[in-house]
Amino acid sequence: MNTINEQIHRVPLVLGDKSFKDVTDAIARPAEAKAPKWWVVGVLFSASVACILFAMIGYLIWDGVGVWGLNNPVGWGFAIVNFVFWVGIGHAGTLISAILFLFKQKWRTSINRFAEAMTIFAVICAGIFPGIHVGRIWLAYYLFPIPNSMAMWPNFKSALLWDVFAVSTYFTVSLLFWYVGLIPDLATFRDRAKTRVKRLAYGFFALGWSGSSRQWINYEKAYLILAAIATPLVLSVHSIVSFDFATSNLPGWHTTIFPPYFVAGAIFSGFAMVLTLLIIARKIFNLEDLVTIRHLENMNKFILATGTMVGYAYAMEFFMAWYSGNQYEAFAFVNRAFGPYAWAYWIMISCNVISPQFFWFRSLRTSIPVMFIISIFVNIGMWFERFVITVTSLHRDFLPSSWDYYTPTWVDIMTFVGSFGLFFSLFLLFLKFLPIISIAEVKGVMAIADPHHYESHTKKGGQL
Amino acid sequence: MSIFGYLCEVDNPKDLLDLSKKVYHAGYIKFDTYTPFPVHGIDKAMGIPLSRVPYLSLIGCLIGLTGAIALQVWTNGFDYPIALSGKPFVALPAFVPVTFELTILFTAFFTVFGMFAINKLPQWNQPIFNNESIKKATCSGFFLAISSDDKNFDIEKTKLFLERSGGKNIEAINH
Amino acid sequence: MTSKQLFPKWFNYLPIIVLVGLTLILGITIHLFWFWFSPKHLEVGYQPKQPIPFSHELHVNQVGMDCRYCHSNVEVSGHSNIPTTETCMNCHKTIKVDSPAIKTLTEYHNQKKPIDWVKVHMLPDYVYFNHAAHVNSGVSCVQCHGNVNKMTTVYQAKPLSMGWCLECHREPEKYLWPKEQVTNLDFRPDNQLKLGLQLKETYNVNPGEACSVCHR
C-alpha cells in the first residue's frame, strides 16, 4: 500500500512507462549479454591485483609479521586500519537493506542488492586482516570455543574476542539476508536462461522457487524478521569494533563516544562507497531509469548527515580532552592535530568534515560529477580516520623513551592495494552473473503491482 | 488421477485476487497462486493463515540467548576460570556482546532455515515445473493452480469452474 | 505445453544427503583434530633410538638403583639432569667393561665427550616446568614419565599437553604420594583419594591454574 506521503507528488521510483517484463529485461540484460570488453579487462586486472594480496599474505606467513612496518609502541598498523576501514564500508549495505526496509523507504529497492553485495565483499576483505594479523595463522582456531588438548577456552571478557563474534555473525547474517533476497531473482534468471549450464546453475541456487504465494507469505515474514534483527546487529558490530579501542586505557582510544562515533563513520564511509560504485554501474548498464537522481540525492543526504555527525565527534573529542582536565588526553589530541602525524589528521578533516558540506546545496547534491568526486574524497578520508585513531594514539604512549614513528613497508601497502583487487574481482563477478537490482522488489513498488491500481484508471502504469 | 491439477493464467494482480477469492469461496483448499512478486492482499483472498516463521525465530532467539550465556558462564566461570582484567569469573556485563551476537546468529539461522522448512525448500523437482508456461510466473505472469489432491477436484467441473471464473489458458499439470 | 524438469526427482533428497554428509564430515574433522592431531596421539609412544642401548629396566628393577643416583638434581633444581658420563663410569670402570655398549661408553669418556642422548620428553620453550617443585610436593616420576623402571628403551608415556597438566593442577589429590615414595615407581596406595587429600593438606599443595603459573 502506498502511504499518504507518497500520494503527494514525488518523483517516481521507476521512470518511464515500464511493464513487469521491461523491468526484468532491463535488469537481466547485463547477465545475459556477452561479457563486454571493459568487464573482461576489469576482471583480469582486479584478479591480478588480488593475486598480489595472496602473494603478500603468503610472504607474511612465510616470513612473519616482521615484514610489516610495526614497531614497539605501534603494534597495530595497516592491518587494523584496513580491517576497520573495510568493516565500516560494509555497514551501508546492511543499513540500506535492513533499516530502510523497516522504515518502509521504498527507494531502497533499486540499490539494496547492490549495497548488500558490497557489504559481503567488504566484510570478506575485512575478515582477512585480523586473521593474518595474529601472526601464526595456524593458531587462529584459538579464537573459537573449540575443545582442544590445552583444555583452554577463549577469554570471553576480552573486547577482541567480542569482535570475532561480532564480525563473523555480521558476515553470516549479511550473507543469509543477501541470499534470501536473491532466491526469487535467481528463479527469474533460471527461467530466462538460454543455456543448460546456466539453467542448472541458477536453478540450483534458486532452490526450486516457483513464486508460490503460500511460499511468499513465509518468505516475506522471514525477510522482515531478518531485517529486524540485522538492524540492531549492524549497530552492534561497529560498536564492538570500537570497543577494541575504547576498552583499552590509551589516551585517544579510551573514550565513551567511540561506539556511536564509529557507527556514524561506518555508515558515512559505506554510503560513499555505494555511491562511487553505483554511479559507475548505472552509467555502464544504462540503469538510469531504475537508479534515479532521487536515489542518489537521498544517499547524499545521508552522507551529509553522517559526515556532520563525524565532524561533531571530532570536535567533541577535543572538548572532552580539555574538559576532563586529563593532561595525557589533552596531549594525545593536540599531538594528533599538530604532531608528527598532523598531515594525516588534516587530510581526514578536509575529506570527512569539509567535503560533505557541499551537499547542503541541491544543485551540488544532484550533480553526478560533484557527488562522484566527493564520494571518493570521503572514502579516502575515512581510511585516514582509522589511520589517525590507530597510529597517532599508539606512537606516543606513556613511556616517552619508546616513542617512535610508524612507516608502512611495501608489504603493508601492497596488501592493502591487493584487498581492493579482491573486492573489485568479487564485485565484477557479481555484476556479470547476478541480478544487480532486486527484480521482485522493484516490481513490488511499481504502481501496476498494486491491485487497487486497476480500480481507478486515472493513474498511469509506472507512475503515481 | 491422471493429472496433478489445473493451471490457469490471469492478466494482472487484481484479477488474480478476484479469481483466488472465487476459488477459495468455492471450497477449494489445495490451490496456490504463482506471482513474480508478493501480491498485496493475496493471503486474505486465498485464506492463507498467518506465517509460522516468527515462532521459529523466537525459538532460535531463545536457544541463542541461553546457549551463549551457558557457554560463557561454563567455560570462563567453571571449566577454565582465568583471573583476568580484574573481573569476576562470571562477569555477566562482559558477556553481553557475545550473548547478543549469538542470539542474533541463531535467530537468523532459525528464521532462514525455518522458512525453508515450512516452504519445503529446496525442492528442485516439482509437478508444476512440468508446464512450460509457469516460467512466466517469475517474470510477468500471474497464475493459479488447483491440485488434484483437493477433495472438491473434478476433472471436468474444476476446469469449467476455472473457465467461468475468468481463468485463461487453462492447462492440465501432467505427469 | 509441457516442459522437461530441470532436476531429477532424487535431487529433492539432496538437503537430507547434504545434512547427513555434513554431520559426518564435521564429526570426522572434530575427531581428527581432537584425537589424531593432539599430543595424545602424536607424542605418546615416541621412542627414539639412543646412542647407547641403556636399559632403565635393568638398572632399576634388576640392579635396584634409585632414580636419584643418576638424576641427582631432581630434588634441588628446576631442571632434572641427564647424568654425566662420569656418573656412568663410577660403576662401569669395572663392571662389564667388555660389552660393546660399555666400550662405546668408555670411548665417549676417554674423548671427554658427552653422550648425545636423544631427548624424549620435550616441553615447549614457553612452558616453565620445575622438577624440584613437583617432586618435593609428592608428585612421583611415574605421573609424568610412566613406569620407566619397566622400559628397556625409554618412550614418552604421557601426552604432556596443557590439558593433561591441568588435570593434575585441578585435582592434585588424585595423584599425590608421600614424598619418600616418589621414586618408588611401583608404589600404589590403597586409597589414593584419602591419602591425596591428606597429603595436599600436609604439603600445602595449591597448584595454580592462572596463565602465569607456567607461561612466565
Same domain (yes/no): B75, B107:
yes
Which residues contact residue A293 at a Cβ distance below 8 angstroms, ignoring those fewer than 6 apart? A11, A366
Residue B110 and residue B60 in one domain: yes
Using CB atoms, pick whichever of C12, C33, C162 lies closest to residue A150.
C162
Owning domain of residue B147: 3-49+127-174
In which band, very low, low, confident or very high, does the pLDDT at A58 lie, cut at 50, 70 and 90?
Answer: very high
**CA–CA separation, A345 and A389 (whole Å):** 9
**Buried b or exposed e, range C72-100, using 16+ CB within 10 angstroms:** bebbeeeebeebebeebbeebeeeeeeee
The alpha-helical segments, DSSP class H, found in chain B are 13-25, 42-46, 53-72, 92-118, 157-165
What is the rounded CA–CA span in Å between residue B98 and residue A156? Answer: 8
Closest CA to C106 of C86, C76, C83: C86
Residue ranges of A 208-247 with Cβ closer than 8 A to chain C:
208
Give A142 or B175, the one with higher predicted confidence: A142
Q: What are the Cα distances from residue A196, in Å, to A191, A201, A211, A442, C171?
A: 11, 8, 21, 27, 65
- Preceding amide of B122 cis, omega within 30: yes
- For B10, phi then psi, to 5°, come to -130, 175
C70 — phi, psi (to 5°)? -95, -50
Q: Are A209 and A184 in contact (CB under 8 A)?
A: yes
Instruction: Write the pLDDT tens digit of every residue in A100-127.
Output: 888 888 778 878 888 899 999 999 999 9
CA distance A414 to A69: 12
Give C 38-77 residues with CB within 8 A of chain A: 38-40
Looking at the structure, do residues B104 and B139 belong to the same domain, yes or no?
no
Give the number of other Cβ atoms within 10 Å of residue C9's Cβ. Answer: 10
User: Do B65 and B90 belong to one domain?
Assistant: yes
pLDDT score at A464:
39
Q: A149, A190, A207: best mutation site toward chain C, by most C Cβ within 10 Å?
A: A149
Closest CA to B30 of B53, B4, B1, B3: B4
Same domain for B62 and B112: yes
Provide the 10 A C-beta neighbour count for residue A388. Answer: 23
Residue of A nearest to C3 (CA): A191
Report the neighbours of C using a cutoff of 3 or more CB pairs below 8 angstroms.
A, B
Give me the percent of chain C exceeding a pLDDT of 70. Answer: 100
* Interface pTM, i.e. ipTM: 0.94
For residue B70, which amino acid is it? Answer: A
Average pLDDT over residues B12-37: 92
Which pLDDT score, from 0 to 100, does residue A9 have? 46
Q: How many structural domains compose chain B? A: 2
pTM above 0.90, yes or no: no
Q: How confident is the model at residue A5 (pLDDT cuts 50, 70, 90)?
A: very low
State the smallest CA–CA distance between residue A244 and chain C in angstroms: 22
Burial (CB < 10 A; 0-12, 13-18, 19+), residue A415, is buried
Q: Which domains does chain A have, with CATH numbers?
A: 19-445 (1.20.1630.10)
Separation between Cα atoms, residue A122 and residue A89, nearest integer Å:
6
pLDDT at A98: 86
Looking up cell 527507494 gives A107
| pLDDT, average across residues A286-310 | 88
Contact assignment for A169 to B118 by CB distance below 8 Å: no
Q: Which residues from B are below 8 Å from C7, CB to CB?
A: 124-125
- Asked if residue C106 has pLDDT above 70, the reply is yes
Q: Tell whether B102 and B153 lie within a shared domain.
A: no
Confidence of residue A10 (pLDDT cuts 50, 70, 90): low
Judge whether B97 and A165 are in contact, CB under 8 Å.
yes
pLDDT above 90 for A303: yes
Q: Find the angle CA(C7)-CA(B139)-CA(A15) to the nearest 5 degrees.
A: 150
Q: Do C34 and A147 touch (CB under 8 A)?
A: yes
A 10 A CB-CB count for B83 gives 13
Confidence of residue C155 (pLDDT cuts 50, 70, 90): very high
| Residue where one domain finishes, among candidates B75, B99, B118 | B118
Q: Quickly count: other Cβ atoms within 10 Å of residue C171's Cβ.
A: 14
Does residue B10 sit in the same domain as residue B24?
yes
Q: Under a CB-based contact definition with an 8 Å cutoff, are residues A90 and A170 in contact?
A: yes
The confidence band for C111, taking pLDDT boundaries of 50, 70 and 90, is very high
